[in-house]
Amino acid sequence: MKYNRQLLELMCGIFGCIADDAAAMVLEGLRKLEYRGYDSAGLAAIFSPGDSSPIETEKTTGYVSELVSKVNGRFDGAKISIGHTRWATHGGVTDQNAHPHSSNDGNITIVHNGIIENSAELSNRLNNLGYSLSSETDTEVIVHLLDHEIKTQPDGLLILDAFCTVISKLRGSWALAAIVSGHEGILVSRSGAPLVIGRGEAGISVSSDVLPFYGACSEVAYMNDGDNFLLTTNGIVAQDDVEKPTFEALEGVYDEEDPGIFPHMMLKEIHDQPTSLSNVLSGRISADGVNAELSGFDLSPAEIRKLERINLVACGTAYYASEIISSYIRKFTCIRSEAFIASEFPAKSVCSQNTLTIGVSQSGETKDTLDALFEAKKYGSNVSSLCNVIGSTMSRMTGNGAYLHAGPEFAVASTKVFSNMVAAGLLFALTISDIPNLEKKKLVQDLRKLPNIISSQLIDADEAIEQAANLILENGPPIFIGRGGLSSYIAKEGALKMMEISYIPCISLPGGELKHGPIALITQGSPVVALVPSDSKLNLMETSIRECKSRGAKIILITDSEGPISELADILIQTTQTHPDLSPFTHIIPIQLLAYQVGVEKGVNVDRPRNLAKSVTVV
């Protein structure tokens, strides 16, 4: 599989198909891709492939459900259709900027993910040719270039040849799907953004992700960077001497987005964690319960132990999970390890043939993380991944690593995948560890108990979460504090969750840093969320809490301790005591529930918060 560093970008969701009721399949496909962006949505359709009439299109700001209402059955019976759900990068969230984009005569329509870096240059060229652009997007230049190419090339030129000529003029990243009136098929191109072809009894499809293929396709073919094809009812058409991708069986099972008894998917996924943790641990602990055995890596545990360092690269929630994983590696091995924000990864300084760089991602499509892995390979590092999505770009790029087995996560804010990242990372650290067997056995045994502990903790969740949410809503942005590495990393994740789900700006920091500036933010009634597991830092956290209380702060105390520190709490959220190294698992649950409760009380769509997408894959 070929990769170019400058081309590892994408956003939004594309779905297209050739079938007896193509538009209906596209709308269903877009619904399953909405996690990739939900600023706007649109589709285009051809009803009779031989008809040269303008292509029918519809688009709207908002969710796919709003597009379905706007379409109102008008596209029933379409034979060829393409659609798009957008996360805005170029131009505001307007109907005009929504995809698809069409030529002036309506005979060519295109949808695009990614960024065309030379769009300004191409726009000037089109203006000189007499074309006028009606949107603020970088996508519109492509459709007018294709229009010009088709109209100025000699008769008999194949539509795919014209398409390839246009593609050769682009710089940047893209996944493209285009349809042309009077021509059967869908033109597709990939350069840096995932695009997958699906085939089944219903017809042939193209998508940004395999998710929409479940139930419609039995086989998939992954396009490579630089691929340009025409999809027809007969299969894939390529230019002469161009290799076509091979179809393989579609693996996995699709779980429908269904909150069941819960009001939101986010709450359901928080409650999924006992099951998801059982899945990530299953088969990865030795039969005698002594050792962790996380397989799937190209390097053996013995080879990994000889490495100079292990880098972890990730973004957002995955980065905070990586900080915890890196802490485990440092504690249980003699290997130097560090977690990096992927977009800031100093590959040249920390990568060599004697290093391993692990990408950590839910989707496996995160642009910054893919870029960091590419840079790591460039400087000689071994690369691997911890990823939740089978067949993702990251898993195929690295070719080794471990899947998280958390199951589909539909809510944009990650919950159960975070816990599974930490669990998989702990298994990795224990697999390569050189700690005494007795110590390892105790930790592994307690790790096996985690699903039951989390289950009991969720059942026993009390009104303290609601009280804490009301305190935050009434008294302003909270400060999250922890101490001793693990708790301070959970505090970071807590602040991120609160910002994502409630839109409340908040900060997190190690408790010892409060007195070095941030304590100036505390006024009478300021909420402070303190994470205090029963570990060696408990007494130090007590000092930090007293510093806050003496300045009028209200303490939301999350702890497994039943000792005197609980008396400092204005609101006490009790967690279950477990091995100190497993406190991230028990303490993240109330953090997630608190963010959820605050978001719900504020009336936020907690499953689809504004401006966010599940797979952030643009610069």
Residues 314-324 have pLDDT tens digits of 999 999 999 99
**Are 403 and 367 found together in one domain?**
yes
Whether 315 is catalytic: no
Predicted pLDDT at 11: 64
Tens of pLDDT, residue by residue over 410-450, are 898 999 999 999 999 999 999 999 899 899 999 999 999 99
Cβ-in-10-Å burial (0-12, 13-18, 19+) of 156 comes to exposed
Buried b (16+ CB within 10 A) or exposed e, 509-534: bbbbebeeeebeebeeebbbbbbbbb
**Are 379 and 429 found together in one domain?**
yes
Task: State yes or no: pLDDT of 33 exceeds 60.
Answer: yes
| Token pair 């994983």: residue | 325
**Are 448 and 472 found together in one domain?**
no
Last residue of a domain, one of 219, 249, 279: 249
**Are 326 and 378 found together in one domain?**
yes
Alpha-carbon distance of 166 to 257, in angstroms, equals 38
For residue 190, give the H/E element and its range: strand 186-191
**Are 12 and 41 found together in one domain?**
yes
Predicted pLDDT at 188: 98
Phi, psi of 114 (to 5 degrees): 120, -160
**Are 370 and 235 found together in one domain?**
no
| Token pair 């709490």: residue | 569
Task: State yes or no: pLDDT of 535 exceeds 90.
Answer: no
Alpha-carbon distance of 453 to 504, in angstroms, equals 30
Last residue of a domain, one of 417, 432, 459: 459
CATH value at residue 595 = 3.40.50.10490
- As a whole-number percent, the residues of the chain with pLDDT over 70 amount to 96
Q: Distances in Å between the alpha carbon of 459 and those of 270, 328, 553, 576, 589?
A: 12, 29, 30, 12, 12
If pLDDT is split at 50, 70 and 90, which confidence band does 619 have?
Answer: very low
Please list the alpha-helical segments (H only) found in 134-196. Answer: 140-152, 159-167
Q: Concatenate the DSSP letters of all residues of 412-458 into one string.
A: SS-SHHHHHHHHHHHHHHHHT--S-HHHHHHHHHHHHHHHHHHHHHH
Q: Contact at 8 Å (CB) between 220 and 195?
A: no
Q: Contact at 8 Å (CB) between 15 and 30?
A: yes
Tens of pLDDT, residue by residue over 161-193, are 999 999 999 999 899 999 999 999 999 999 988
Which residues on adjacent β-strands are paired with residue 248? 220
Query: Of 2, 12, 70, 79, which is the active-site residue?
Result: 12
Alpha-carbon distance of 173 to 618, in angstroms, equals 9
**Are 120 and 149 found together in one domain?**
yes
Predicted pLDDT at 88: 63
Alpha-carbon distance of 244 to 227, in angstroms, equals 8
**Are 448 and 494 found together in one domain?**
no
Select the more confidently predicted residue: 592 or 13: 592
Q: Distances in Å between the alpha carbon of 276 and those of 176, 350, 444, 488?
A: 35, 33, 17, 24
Question: What range does the domain containing 591 cover?
Answer: 460-619
Which of 39-43, 289-293, 588-592 ranks highest by mean pLDDT? 588-592
What mean pLDDT value characterizes the chain? Answer: 91
Task: State yes or no: pLDDT of 87 exceeds 80.
Answer: no
**Are 391 and 267 found together in one domain?**
yes
Predicted pLDDT at 90: 60
Select the more confidently predicted residue: 617 or 71: 71
Predicted pLDDT at 567: 93
Alpha-carbon distance of 568 to 493, in angstroms, equals 23
**Are 559 and 455 found together in one domain?**
no
**Are 126 and 274 found together in one domain?**
no
Query: Of 268, 377, 554, 614, which is the active-site residue?
Result: 614
Whether 614 is catalytic: yes
Task: State yes or no: pLDDT of 358 exceeds 70.
Answer: yes
Number of compact structural domains in the chain: 3
Predicted pLDDT at 10: 45
Predicted pLDDT at 615: 53
Last residue of a domain, one of 224, 249, 274: 249
**Are 387 and 331 found together in one domain?**
yes
Half-sphere exposure for 405 (CA within 13 Å, toward CB):
17
Predicted pLDDT at 51: 82
Please list the alpha-helical segments (H only) found in 100-139. Answer: 119-128
Alpha-carbon distance of 114 to 262, in angstroms, equals 35
Q: Distance of alpha carbon 390 from its chain centroid, rounded?
A: 13
CATH value at residue 69 = 3.60.20.10
